[in-house]
Amino acid sequence: MQEVREMVCIVCPVGCHMKVTSNEGQVTKVEGNSCKRGIGYAEAECTHPTRTLTTTMRIKNGEVPMISVKTDEPVPKSLLMACMEAINKAKIQAPIHVGDKIIENILDTGSNIVATRNCERKA
Q: Residue number with the shortest CB distance to ligand SF4?
A: 38
14 binds ligand SF4 (CB under 6 A): yes
SS3 53: coil
CA distance 22 to 3: 5
Q: Are 45 and 33 in contact (CB under 8 A)?
A: no
Kindly state the smallest distance separating residue 8's Cβ from ligand SF4, in Å: 8
Please give the torsion angle defined by the CA atoms of residues 14, 17, 21 and 27, in that order, rounded to the nearest 10 degrees. 20
CB nearer to ligand SF4: pick between 38 and 62? 38
* Positions 24 through 43 that interact with ligand SF4 (CB under 6 A): 33-35, 37-38, 41
Distance of CA 10 to the CA centre of its chain: 12
Q: From the list 9, 53, 59, 106, which residue makes contact with ligand SF4 (rule: CB under 6 A)? A: 9
Interacting residues toward ligand SF4 by CB under 6 A = 9, 11-12, 14-16, 33-35, 37-38, 41
